């Protein structure tokens, strides 16, 4: 019996979801392993990003690259959600490519590049990202040139403008003030990436009762409450992390605690939404396995 094309699409979405959860768990494990086993839990750095300068660098960079790819590959349930997922995925690349400021709190680490090496690393990485992004935009336009015309809805336009402003600002900073870009872009990218995910959670909460309507296990209100709770905790953790970063050393480990909460909330969201969408019918436009026409648009 031939395989169902819609079934393949559904499984692809499920694998993307599972992959994102696995990547974040791997990142948490790598940081925990470095802290607990490699340093004998005697030295905890001030942020997850600071582990770029430790043996956890490979997992840190690799996880963010793969997560960014998954976020971009995953098709949102609306124009706004799709734009926000693409934006968060793009910013995940920047977080991985431009390291945070060094944390010298743990002696004995020898993974510190010189300033010249760091500048060269950032130049190479960001120019590569720009190059591929331009090609990807051209390929996307070419593949969509014969599709029936249809503009974005209002939410998609607003999301595109807001996300576009952030990306253009980062690009201008890279082109005109390289030292400032190296110093600031990691934090900007990390904060806006999380903000994009929070916005996706809110949009999902607004649509959950519509998705669940008529389903035999209609738990729309319960899922809505879960999404709102996760988004609220995630937002508070983001505010805490940004405030701690801007105001200085409120606590040596406040930022890393906030970042761990953010990662756990991200995992929780994808797990809960995967549970919600897992058993919905695989046809129609309000399900995980949307029609091939909708996914390709």
Q: Is-contact 211 286, C-beta < 8 A?
A: yes
pLDDT in tens, 95-107: 999 998 887 777 6
Buried b / exposed e over 114-125, threshold 16 CB at 10 Å, is eeeeeeeebeeb
The encoded tokens of residue 226 equal: 């879960």
The encoded tokens of residue 111 equal: 């993974």
The domain containing residue 189 runs over which residues?
5-296
Q: How many domains does the chain have?
A: 1
pLDDT in tens, 173-223: 999 999 999 999 999 999 999 999 999 999 988 888 777 666 655 577 788
> Ramachandran region of residue 28, left (φ > 0), alpha (ψ -120 to 50) or beta?
alpha
In total, the chain counts a number of residues equal to 297
Closest CA to 81 of 189, 169, 193, 202: 202
pLDDT at 283: 41
pLDDT at 4: 57
Buried b / exposed e over 165-188, threshold 16 CB at 10 Å, is ebbeebeebbeeeeeebbeebbbb
pLDDT at 215: 61
Residues ≥6 apart with Cβ < 8 Å to 31: 48, 51, 56, 60
Closest CA to 208 of 198, 189, 222, 197: 222
Q: How does DSSP classify residue 76?
A: P
The encoded tokens of residue 286 equal: 């309000």
pLDDT at 7: 72
Q: How far apart are CA 284 and CA 9, in angstroms?
A: 13
Coil/strand/helix, residue 39: coil
pLDDT at 192: 96
pLDDT at 276: 84
Q: How far apart are CA 89 and CA 66, in angstroms?
A: 9
pLDDT at 60: 96
Q: Whole-prediction pTM value?
A: 0.87
Q: Is-contact 159 79, C-beta < 8 A?
A: yes
Residues ≥6 apart with Cβ < 8 Å to 196: 84, 85, 87, 88, 91, 163
pLDDT at 121: 92
pLDDT averaged over consecutive 10-residue blocks of the chain (297 residues)?
A: 64 89 96 87 86 91 96 90 96 95 71 83 95 93 70 87 96 94 93 95 85 64 89 94 77 84 95 81 47 47
């Amino acid at each position: 019996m031939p395989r169902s094309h819609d079934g393949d699409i559904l499984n692809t979405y499920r694998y993307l979801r599972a992959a994102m959860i696995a990547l974040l768990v791997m990142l948490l494990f790598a940081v925990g392993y470095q802290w607990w086993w490699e340093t004998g839990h005697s030295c905890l750095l001030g942020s997850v990003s600071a582990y770029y300068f430790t043996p956890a660098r490979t997992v840190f960079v690799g996880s963010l690259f793969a997560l960014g790819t998954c976020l971009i590959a995953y098709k949102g349930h609306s124009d706004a959600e799709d734009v926000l997922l693409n934006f968060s995925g793009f910013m995940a690349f920047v977080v991985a490519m431009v390291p945070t400021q060094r944390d010298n709190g743990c002696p004995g680490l020898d993974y510190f590049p010189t300033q010249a090496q760091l500048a060269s690393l950032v130049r190479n990485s960001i120019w590569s990202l720009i190059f591929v992004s331009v090609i990807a935009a051209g390929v996307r336009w070419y593949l969509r040139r014969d599709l029936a015309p249809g503009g974005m809805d209002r939410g998609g336009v607003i999301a595109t403008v807001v996300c576009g402003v952030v990306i253009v600002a980062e690009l201008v900073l890279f082109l005109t003030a390289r030292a400032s870009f190296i110093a600031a872009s990691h934090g900007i990218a990390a904060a806006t990436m999380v903000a994009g995910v929070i916005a996706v959670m809110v949009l999902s909460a607004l649509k959950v009762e519509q998705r669940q309507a008529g389903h035999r296990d209609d738990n729309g209100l319960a899922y809505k409450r879960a999404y709102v709770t996760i988004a609220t905790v995630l937002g508070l953790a983001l505010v805490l992390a940004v405030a701690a970063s801007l105001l200085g050393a409120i606590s040596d480990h406040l930022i890393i605690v906030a970042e761990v909460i953010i990662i756990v909330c991200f995992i929780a969201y994808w797990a809960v939404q995967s549970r919600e969408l897992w058993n919905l019918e695989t046809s129609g436009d309000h399900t995980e396995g949307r029609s091939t026409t909708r996914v390709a648009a």
